[in-house]
């Protein structure tokens, strides 16, 4: 009982240090893992009777650091494809085309830009891509009369909509829950619908509240398209974001080959000579790895924490506590995850990119809930974190660029995100209980 209490206290301390930004998440997760293992009495270095290493340095730290390898390789290839889109001008062209199609109708422009942002982030990842897209989208929104705070909220909600179909994220969730990619995809479809509906509602509410006109006399300024993406090849290049999704959904290809297909696709349709193509491929790869680095390091920590909480000794210590607090009926399941959804913020205990990955793994390993129910609940709660967490790099950058306070964006988005989370949890309860 004492060990379990100490571990809970350690959870609270580590969470507090992350909230106050005293330590970064990428350091907090391994630190938490080592603390839990030490409190539980797992030896650092030890061997069994056969001479096999059973200490946590080998069985948890070493093994955990590569447990999420499939997920972070997918992140790297996704970031590579994203950089190809950015460097070739495809990303910029798609955004400007949406603005031009909207003409002198701000509402239509906003809907089109939001749709393009969502489509782009099914493939793009990393802060670099958030900045690349945001520096184009946000000024366009502000120029047609949308207040900066509203523009920032709409941009982030559109970003969250696209993330539901981000293949690199799917691979990450597949690794955390130990489920096939198809199961992640099937439930993500519901979350996509709920998030897209919330984004549409946000736009309509903000337009009405701020008195933004549905049309104005001065059309959006036309922009000059880059030569490399004009005509038929340009149209084909702008299909790049959906190519990996088609490969996975329709042809059942694995994630990495699907990203390769997207990379080859955009390389072919933006081809301007062998030397230029090779230079762009190489530079995009290097920059993509740089973009992916923070996520990769975070996934190393998630893998270590996963093996920590599923270690037999740790399970024996935490089992009684988790059994007492984990809901076991459909009604308590719905109430528990909806009411506690804000605990996904600030890298809290329901945050899959923080402490939540370990909590989910522990619930699954103890058989306290069906694995599909755990997946459904945590993916639903992830909607709260995706763009509601003011510690997200995308939230911080967007707030700074728009000139608004990051917590103000959170206050505007959380009501919508909470409804999305609730709909997701209720759906999961019907599907998996």
pLDDT tens string 165-193: 999 999 999 999 999 999 999 999 999 99
Angstrom distance (rounded) from CA 427 to CA 197: 15
The per-residue pLDDT for 251 is 87
The per-residue pLDDT for 190 is 97
Give me the mean pLDDT over the 44-57 stretch.
87
Angstrom distance (rounded) from CA 408 to CA 428: 30
The answer to whether the CB of 191 falls within 8 A of the CB of 379 is yes
Give helix 167-177 / helix 356-365 axis angle, nearest 10°. Answer: 40
Going from N- to C-terminal start, the domains of the chain cover: 2-432
Going by pLDDT thresholds of 50, 70 and 90, the confidence category of residue 205 is very high
CA distances from 285 to 90, 228, 282, 288, 313 (A): 16, 20, 5, 5, 42
Give me the mean pLDDT over the 242-254 stretch.
88
For the record, the structure tokens of 55 come out as 């200490």
Mean pLDDT of the chain: 89
The per-residue pLDDT for 225 is 43
The per-residue pLDDT for 96 is 85
The answer to whether the CB of 413 falls within 8 A of the CB of 154 is no
C-alpha closest to that of 263 among 289, 237, 286, 287:
237
The per-residue pLDDT for 78 is 87
For the record, the structure tokens of 405 come out as 């306070």
Q: Determine the length of the chain.
A: 433
The answer to whether the CB of 280 falls within 8 A of the CB of 84 is yes
Check whether 226 has a pLDDT greater than 60. no
Cβ neighbours of residue 10 closer than 8 Å, sequence gap 6 or more: 32, 35, 36, 39
Question: What is the percent of the chain where pLDDT is above 90?
Answer: 55
Question: What is the percent of the chain where pLDDT is above 70?
Answer: 95
Query: Which tens digit of pLDDT belongs to each residue from 376-396?
Result: 999 999 999 999 988 788 998
Distance of CA 91 to the CA centre of its chain: 19
Going by pLDDT thresholds of 50, 70 and 90, the confidence category of residue 229 is low
Check whether 53 has a pLDDT greater than 90. no
Q: Which long-range contacts (CB under 8 A, 24 or more apart) does 27-30 make?
A: 27/301, 28/301, 28/347, 28/354, 29/298, 29/301, 29/302, 29/304, 29/305, 29/354, 29/355, 30/61, 30/300, 30/301, 30/304, 30/305
Check whether 322 has a pLDDT greater than 90. no
Q: What is the pTM of this model?
A: 0.85
Angstrom distance (rounded) from CA 307 to CA 66: 11
Distance of CA 181 to the CA centre of its chain: 16
The per-residue pLDDT for 25 is 79
The per-residue pLDDT for 4 is 83
Give helix 181-210 / helix 148-163 axis angle, nearest 10°. Answer: 160
CA dihedral 42, 45, 48, 50 (to 10 degrees): 160
Check whether 104 has a pLDDT greater than 80. no
Check whether 404 has a pLDDT greater than 60. yes
Going by pLDDT thresholds of 50, 70 and 90, the confidence category of residue 22 is confident
Check whether 361 has a pLDDT greater than 50. yes
């Amino acid at each position: 009982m004492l060990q379990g209490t100490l571990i809970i206290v350690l959870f609270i301390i580590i969470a507090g240090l992350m909230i106050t930004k005293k330590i970064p998440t990428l350091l907090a997760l391994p630190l938490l893992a080592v603390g839990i293992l030490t409190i539980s009495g797992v030896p650092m270095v030890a061997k069994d009777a056969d001479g096999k290493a059973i200490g946590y340095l080998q069985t948890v730290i070493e093994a955990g650091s590569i447990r999420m390898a499939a997920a972070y390789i997918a992140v790297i290839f996704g970031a590579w494809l994203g950089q190809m889109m950015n460097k070739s001008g495809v990303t910029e062209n798609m955004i400007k085309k949406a603005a031009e199609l909207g003409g002198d109708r701000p509402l239509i422009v906003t809907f089109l830009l939001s749709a393009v942002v969502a489509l782009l982030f099914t493939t793009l990842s990393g802060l670099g891509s958030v900045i690349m897209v945001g520096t184009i989208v946000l000024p366009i929104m502000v120029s047609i009369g949308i207040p900066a705070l509203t523009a920032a909220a709409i941009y982030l909600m559109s970003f969250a909509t696209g993330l539901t179909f981000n293949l690199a994220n799917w691979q990450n969730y597949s690794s955390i829950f130990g489920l096939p990619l198809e199961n992640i995809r099937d439930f993500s479809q519901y979350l996509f619908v709920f998030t897209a509906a919330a984004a549409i509602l946000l736009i309509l509410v903000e337009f009405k509240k701020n008195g933004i006109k549905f049309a104005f006399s001065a059309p959006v300024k036309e922009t000059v398209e880059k030569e490399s993406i004009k005509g038929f090849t340009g149209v084909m290049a702008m299909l790049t974001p959906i190519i990996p999704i088609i490969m996975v959904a329709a042809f059942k290809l694995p994630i990495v080959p699907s990203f390769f297909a997207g990379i080859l696709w955009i390389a072919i349709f933006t081809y301007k000579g062998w030397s230029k193509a090779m230079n762009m491929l190489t530079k995009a790869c290097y920059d993509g790895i740089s973009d992916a680095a923070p996520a990769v390091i975070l996934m190393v920590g998630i893998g270590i924490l996963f093996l920590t909480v599923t270690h037999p000794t740790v399970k024996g210590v935490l089992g009684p506590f988790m059994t007492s607090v984990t809901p076991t009926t459909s009604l308590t399941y719905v109430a528990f995850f909806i009411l506690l959804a804000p605990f996904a913020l600030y890298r809290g205990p329901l945050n899959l990119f923080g402490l939540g990955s370990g909590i989910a793994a522990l619930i699954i390993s103890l058989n306290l809930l069906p694995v599909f129910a755990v997946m459904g609940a945590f993916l639903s709660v992830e909607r709260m974190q995706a763009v509601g967490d003011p510690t997200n790099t995308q939230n911080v950058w967007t707030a700074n660029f728009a000139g608004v306070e990051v917590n103000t964006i959170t206050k505007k988005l959380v009501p919508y995100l909470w409804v999305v989370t609730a709909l997701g949890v209720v759906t999961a309860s019907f599907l998996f209980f």
